[in-house]
Amino acid sequence: MTPEMKGFLLLTVIKLIVVFTVIMTGVALLTLMERKVSAWMQNRMGPNRVGIAGLLQPAADGLKNILKEETYPAEANRVLFLLAPALSFIPALLLAAVIPLAAPLPVDFAFTLGPLGAFAYHGLMPVQVADLPIGFLFVLAISSMGVYGIALAGWSSNSKYSLLGGLRASAQLISYEVAMGLSLIPVLLLSGNVSFSVIIAEQQRGPWYVLPLFLSFFVFLVSGFAETNRLPFDLPEAESELIAGYHTEYSAMKFSMFFIAEYANVVTVCMMVATLFFGGWDIPFIHWDESGGVLPTIVTGLIFFLKVFFWIFFVMWIRWTLPRFRYDQLMSLGWKVLLPMALAYVMVIGLATYLIGDVAHIASPVTRGLILFALNLVLGCGVFLVLDRGNVVSGSERRRVPGRRAAPLRVGG
């Protein structure tokens, strides 16, 4: 093995450990954030007893879950019952490995470590565990593995609530994956590559993709909510209907693993949104961040963190605001609205890029982006006008939603 290969391996292991630690700590802090955000929206204090401002609450929760008794329902399929939390936990953690967290860091070292031999690395180190050439395809592939954990958990628990939750989850995740995958095709069309680093580089040259591909962003965000089982799409664990859905029968650490997986999925989706549509670690309008160096890496890392943080907050904001969909409404939203929309959008963007690039010969990514943005303004307004007519939700009779006193009132005596 050459010293360069060993150096690469060493860095990868370090990055693995760092990313894993960051994600796990982040997830723990997210549970606290969720409670604090909800408390803020509901005029409450939130947890504030454990540690300063409740900062140790996640640790206390984790400790509690580790110390709790592991219970198994009678006649549960033990093997699958044990396997299911791991099956949903592992893909959730794998996903964060391919997303670039900051600008590439220039690394230059060469040293010898006893019997292990020489280690060396020269050049820019991408701040991600693996800069996969298949980029977001990997994310889509691995994220669809998560459904096995949930479906198996629902089936192996030997409980009707769990079974219904598991079935709902499988149907929901599979349906929304289609829309999610299709919504990313325009990104591929514009950037010409599925690799995250190329997508970020393309967004540095032109506008962030949220402008030229707004509808893609919208479809991706909605399917992202559905993929993470968060309200308004939390039917698999619909608390008021199915107690806790697929993890009704789970206790202690096994339950915690579902919980961690959910939050890790939220982090991944928010990272994807930030990377694919908001320029990743890019700071807009300046090129200092691409100059390379330790300081740009730190600053861009912070910028990326801020973007992800905003989208995580957005997810929580939605969760504590909206009611839950009904199962058939969820399905019709996925198959009848989002899927055709994403499909049509692929064609529109394909045609537009062809016209702009090959017919009008506009090579500048900025001009191209702005033209597409204008197109999206028109399309977006049209789509939202259609969606807002009450069509989203099937099974509801279309009804004028009047003001407060519109129910006919009998006045006086």
Partner 1 sequence: MSIRTVEMALSTPGLDAEGRPVQVPLGVGGRDTAESRIPGHYDEDFGAEHMLVNIGPQHPATHGVLRLVLELEGETVKRCIPHIGYLHSGFEKLGEYRQYNQIIPLTDRTDYLSPMANNVCLALAAEKLMGIEITERCRVLRVIACEMSRIISHLVWLGTTGIDLGAFTPFLWSFQERERIYNLQEAWTGARLTTSLTRVGGMMADIPDGFEAGLREFTRTFPNTLREVDTMFTRNAIWCGRTQGVGVLTAAEAINYSLSGPMLRASAVDYDVRKDRPYLGYETYDFDVAIGEHGDIYDRYRIRLEEMFQANRILEQALDRLAALKGAPLNVDDPRLILPPKRRAMSDMEAMIYHFKQVMEGIKPPVGEAYMGIENPKGELGYYFVSDGSAKPVRWRIRPPAFINLASLPKMCEGALLSDVIAINASVDIVMGEVDR
Q: Which residues of 112-136 are buried (b: 16+ CB within 10 A; e: fewer)?
A: eeeeeeebbbeeebbbbbebbeebb
The answer to whether 411 contacts partner 1 (rule: CB under 8 A) is yes
For the bound state, the minimum distance from the C-beta of residue 317 to partner 1, rounded and expressed in Å, comes to 10
Distances from the Cα of 153 to the Cαs of 84, 254, 257, 258, 266, in angstroms?
5, 10, 12, 10, 20
Question: What whole-number distance in Å separates Cα of residue 194 and Cα of residue 143?
Answer: 16
Please, what is the Cα angle at 258 between 252 and 261, to 5 degrees?
135
Question: What whole-number distance in Å separates Cα of residue 200 and Cα of residue 136?
Answer: 12
The answer to whether 232 contacts partner 1 (rule: CB under 8 A) is yes
For the bound state, the minimum distance from the C-beta of residue 176 to partner 1, rounded and expressed in Å, comes to 16
For the bound state, the minimum distance from the C-beta of residue 250 to partner 1, rounded and expressed in Å, comes to 17
For the bound state, the minimum distance from the C-beta of residue 383 to partner 1, rounded and expressed in Å, comes to 14
Question: What whole-number distance in Å separates Cα of residue 41 and Cα of residue 320?
Answer: 8
For the bound state, the minimum distance from the C-beta of residue 401 to partner 1, rounded and expressed in Å, comes to 5
Question: Which residues, 138 to 177, sit near partner 1 by CB under 8 A?
Answer: 160-161, 164
Q: Out of 49, 86, 328, 354, point to the residue binding partner 1 (CB under 8 A).
A: 328
- Closest Cα to residue 201, out of 270, 287, 309? 287
Give the count of residues interacting with partner 1 (CB under 8 A): 46
The answer to whether 325 contacts partner 1 (rule: CB under 8 A) is yes
Token code pair at residue 244: 């806790």
Stretch that binds partner 1, among 85-93, 132-140, 285-293, 327-335 (CB under 8 A): 327-335
Residue labelled with tokens 């955000």: 37
- The dihedral region occupied by 92, where left means phi > 0, alpha psi between -120 and 50, and beta the remainder, is alpha
Question: Which residues, 336 to 395, sit near partner 1 by CB under 8 A?
Answer: 388, 390, 392-395
The answer to whether 397 contacts partner 1 (rule: CB under 8 A) is yes
Q: Out of 95, 127, 231, 269, point to the residue binding partner 1 (CB under 8 A).
A: 231
Q: Out of 20, 148, 320, 335, point to the residue binding partner 1 (CB under 8 A).
A: 320
The answer to whether 243 contacts partner 1 (rule: CB under 8 A) is yes
The answer to whether 318 contacts partner 1 (rule: CB under 8 A) is no
Question: What whole-number distance in Å separates Cα of residue 96 and Cα of residue 99?
Answer: 6
The answer to whether 245 contacts partner 1 (rule: CB under 8 A) is no
The answer to whether 115 contacts partner 1 (rule: CB under 8 A) is no
Stretch that binds partner 1, among 82-90, 235-243, 293-301, 303-311 (CB under 8 A): 235-243
Question: Cα 114 to chain center, whole Å?
Answer: 43
| Identity of the residue, 21 or 396, whose beta carbon is nearer to partner 1 in the bound complex | 396
For the bound state, the minimum distance from the C-beta of residue 246 to partner 1, rounded and expressed in Å, comes to 15
Stretch that binds partner 1, among 40-48, 86-94, 190-198, 362-370 (CB under 8 A): 40-48
How is 63-92 classified by DSSP, letter by letter? Answer: HHHHHSPP---TT--HHHHHHHHHHHHHHH
For the chain, how many residues are written?
A: 413
110: helix, strand or coil: strand
| Identity of the residue, 286 or 407, whose beta carbon is nearer to partner 1 in the bound complex | 407
Note the helical H segments in 228-326: 239-242, 252-277, 294-319
For the bound state, the minimum distance from the C-beta of residue 333 to partner 1, rounded and expressed in Å, comes to 10
For the bound state, the minimum distance from the C-beta of residue 74 to partner 1, rounded and expressed in Å, comes to 12
The answer to whether 240 contacts partner 1 (rule: CB under 8 A) is yes
Question: What whole-number distance in Å separates Cα of residue 332 and Cα of residue 342?
Answer: 14
For the bound state, the minimum distance from the C-beta of residue 177 to partner 1, rounded and expressed in Å, comes to 21
Question: What whole-number distance in Å separates Cα of residue 143 and Cα of residue 27?
Answer: 17
For partner 1, the binding residues (CB under 8 A) are 38, 41-44, 160-161, 164, 231-232, 234-235, 238-241, 243, 320-329, 388, 390, 392-397, 399, 401, 404-405, 407-413
